[in-house]
Amino acid sequence: MTQPMFTKAIVRRPARSLVHGITTHPELGRPDYDLALRQHDAYVRALERCGLAVRVLPALEEFPDSCFVEDVAVCTKRFATITRPATVSRSGEIAGVRALLAEYYDDIDEIREPGTLEGGDVMMVGDEFFVGLSSRTNAEGAAQFIAALNRRGFSGRGVTMPPTLHLKTGCSYMEDDVLLVDRAFASYPEFSRFKRVDVALAEAYAANCLRVNDYVIVPSGHPGVAASLRELGMETIELDMSEFRKIDGGLSCLSLRF
Ligand code: CIR
């Protein structure tokens, strides 16, 4: 890649309260905080290896899910949007991220009540954005965001969701026209124009991979997805995400890239 897609990232250290993060998978057990910190360190190193300068925000103990910074903002080439998380326990996460983004962006928009939108529902494909209409992102939030995109010369469209947490829980754009898709999204007409890499049910968690410049970061333990991406000529970095997975967190959720 001659021109890097991204040069910077923002992450937030996991709080000890992470063990109380929202989860739809209580059967996986509580996260181990010390292991989560080590996995987070490895994540930051991986972003650095991809060429990003990483800013690390301090842990926010009052907000168990606050390490999932992707949900509280959307960063584009021309502007950033501060989102409005649907869950009350996450609403206080935005302040620190807003202040930091102001160092990088002159143009910062925001989602307003009654809109809700979480960044995990926003998938960027060049100048086009897909917005998952999930239990976290309502029609009003999506409409506000799409209007903000249109005002800056981007396009956006809503995507009806299967019962999946966020859009990018189930599909990730790998650049070069390649879309990684969970079975739930495989037949979506919105995605028919892409070269689709289908993710097997047993590897569904790896539908959330992260393309960053010349690499794709893949959660370890998903050999089928990693092999499919390598067959397409992509260089992969594998990271153990076990502790974040326990509270529904994937690779993309842990950072804002811009
Ligand atoms: C939540 O339910 O909000 C967190 N436990 C997980 C957020 C994951 N974020 C993402 O997929 N972008």
Is 115's C-beta closer than 6 angstroms to any atom of ligand 1? no
Q: Which atom of ligand 1 is nearest to the CA of 166?
A: 11
Q: In this structure, are residues 141 and 122 in contact, taking their beta carbons and an 8 Å threshold?
A: no
When divided into structural domains, the chain yields a total of 1
Q: In this structure, are residues 240 and 220 in contact, taking their beta carbons and an 8 Å threshold?
A: yes
218 belongs to a structural domain: yes
Residue 6: CB atoms within 10 Å: 19
pLDDT (mean) for 151-155? 98
pLDDT, tens only, 37-77 = 999 999 999 999 999 999 999 999 999 999 999 999 999 99
Q: Which atom of ligand 1 is nearest to the CA of 120?
A: 12
Burial of 141 (0-12, 13-18, 19+ CB in 10 A): buried
- pLDDT confidence tier of residue 167, bands split at 50, 70 and 90: very high
- pLDDT confidence tier of residue 3, bands split at 50, 70 and 90: confident
pLDDT (mean) for 164-180? 97
43 belongs to a structural domain: yes
Give catalytic status of residue 171 as yes or no: no
Domain of residue 167, residue span:
8-257
Is pTM, for the whole model, over 0.85? Answer: yes
Q: In this structure, are residues 129 and 155 in contact, taking their beta carbons and an 8 Å threshold?
A: yes
Please say if the pLDDT value at position 19 is more than 70. yes
31 belongs to a structural domain: yes
Q: Which atom of ligand 1 is nearest to the CA of 169?
A: 11
1 belongs to a structural domain: no
Local structure of 187: helix, strand or coil: coil
CATH number of the domain at 15, please: 3.75.10.10
81 belongs to a structural domain: yes
pLDDT, tens only, 69-84 = 999 999 999 999 999 9
Is 250's C-beta closer than 6 angstroms to any atom of ligand 1? yes
Pocket test for ligand 1, best of 17, 19, 68 (most atoms within 8 A of CB): 68
Which is more confidently placed, 243 or 96? 243
User: What is the separation of C-alpha 95 from the centre of its chain, rounded to a whole number of angstroms?
Assistant: 19
2 belongs to a structural domain: no
pLDDT, tens only, 122-148 = 999 999 999 999 999 999 999 999 999
3 belongs to a structural domain: no
What are the backbone angles phi and psi of residue 57, rounded to the nearest 5°?
-80, 150
251 belongs to a structural domain: yes
Local structure of 104: helix, strand or coil: coil
Separation of 92 CA from ligand 1 center, angstroms?
A: 15
Residue 1 has a pLDDT of 56
Residue 4 has a pLDDT of 82
